[in-house]
Chain A
């Protein structure tokens, strides 16, 4: 399988649940990203990992916890989310510089 994959594609969770989003890239890139896309808003960068080290955390609440066990995998652990966290969560990867390649996203609904 090639490109950037994300699972699950859709997720409905209650505010007290714990769930994880998974991203996998098969492009040999060394940087991976989590974005949030809410309705009618620009993509918001959440986290950046470069060479498995977190290098950016854009004031994201602690109920979102990223994990990058290796250069091909990226997780976003979710805990006690709020309804306003409902959004499309996109993972991307890139070489050191240049364009980012996106996964299809996970549509998250918090009830």
Chain B
């Protein structure tokens, strides 16, 4: 049972346009969401996160939107650049669990290709 799903395995976008990557989750206990980016032969790198008390978080060209009622989050990249071509993973956690560590549940990833 996959609790975090990225239903689009791949996305192709022209340079300068907007990239929208989507992620759905099923566990309503998740209260913290993250996006990671992964280049080949490297580990995932943290991009941006959002707490469930917010519906939007922006950092430069990257904005994450959270729709709790729909259990859906999206990552917007604008303008897209060829260097953004990578695999993007969304992840979710239950920070309210009171543990001394953060357990992340990942989606399967979306391959983004930005064409010059």
Could you tell me which A residues sit within 8 Å of B by CB distance?
4, 6, 30-31, 40-43, 45, 48, 50-51, 55-56, 90, 92, 94, 96-105
Contacts and interface: CB of A to CB of B under 8 A. Distances in A.
Interface in B72-116: 89, 95, 99-109
Interface residues of B, number: 25
Interface of B: 2, 4, 9, 34, 36, 41-46, 49, 89, 95, 99-109
Contacts of B100: 30-31, 50-51, 55, 96
A106 B106 CA distance: 19
Nearest to B101: A31
Nearest to A45: B103
20 contacts: A6-B43, A30-B101, A31-B102, A40-B9, A40-B108, A42-B106, A42-B108, A43-B106, A45-B103, A45-B105, A48-B103, A50-B99, A50-B101, A97-B101, A97-B102, A99-B49, A102-B36, A102-B43, A104-B41, A104-B43
